[in-house]
Structure 1
Amino acid sequence: MLVRIVRMTFQTDKVADFHTIFRQSQPVIRSFPGCLHVELLQDTANPLIYSTLSHWENAAALEAYRQSDFFRETWSKTKALFSDKPLAFSLHPVTIT
């Protein structure tokens, strides 16, 4: 499994626009092959900072999603709302025995 986190900071007057985009996009993202989970989180100290947390079967499934027309269109609309550069990273769960 692969965990993807994308941290985004929005312009004050664009948060509602982002909410609309995410509300419409979330079910579509969840239906992509290999997507196991996707949710939206808000920073406790700064309400303009949101993170998406998604779980994917593997890196290939995430990459297929990122290469889709849906992702390109949605990301284009979303990044126009940013007030700062986004931060994205992928992680693998680790079990320590």
Structure 2
Amino acid sequence: MLVRLVKMEFKPEEVANFEILFNEVKEKIRGFEGCEFLELLKGSEKSSVFFTHSHWTSAEALEKYRKSDLFTSTWAKTKVLFNAKPEAWSVEKFVTLR
């Protein structure tokens, strides 16, 4: 399993627009083949910072999503709202305690 973390900082005046956009596409992203989990986290210290946290069956599944029309159209609408360059990490679960 691949875990993908993406940090995004938005222009303060665009936060509401991002929230609307995310709500419009979240079920489609979660329903994309290979996506097993999706959540949106909001910065506790800076309300214009968000993180997406998603789980993918493989790096190939994530790459298929990143090449999809869904990603391309969503990303085009999202990136114009940014206040800073996004950061992304792909990691594998190493230790999980519950």
Match of 2:22 in 1: 22
Shift of 1:95: 3.9
* 2:84 paired residue number: 84
Matches within 5 A, 1:32-43: 32-43=32-43
SS in 2 for 1:45: coil
Alignment correspondent of 1:56: 56
2: CA distance, partners of 1:32 / 1:53: 15
Whole-angstrom distance in 2 between the partners of 1:47 and 1:33: 31
- CA distance in 2: counterparts of 1:7 and 1:53, whole angstroms: 9
Report the alpha carbon displacement of residue 44 of structure 1 after superposing the two structures with TM.
Answer: 1.0
SS of 1:38's equivalent in the other structure is strand
Q: Distance in 1 between matches of 2:58 and 2:87?
A: 20
Pick which of 87-96 and 12-21 moved more: 87-96
TM-score (norm 1): 0.96
- Give how far 1:94 is off: 1.1
For structure 2, which runs of at least 5 residues remain unmatched after alignment?
none
The root-mean-square deviation of aligned C-alpha atoms, in Å, is 1.1
Structure 1: state its 5+ residue gaps: none
After TM superposition, the score normalised by the length of structure 2 is 0.95
Give the number of aligned pairs: 96
**Is 2:46 the counterpart of 1:46?**
yes
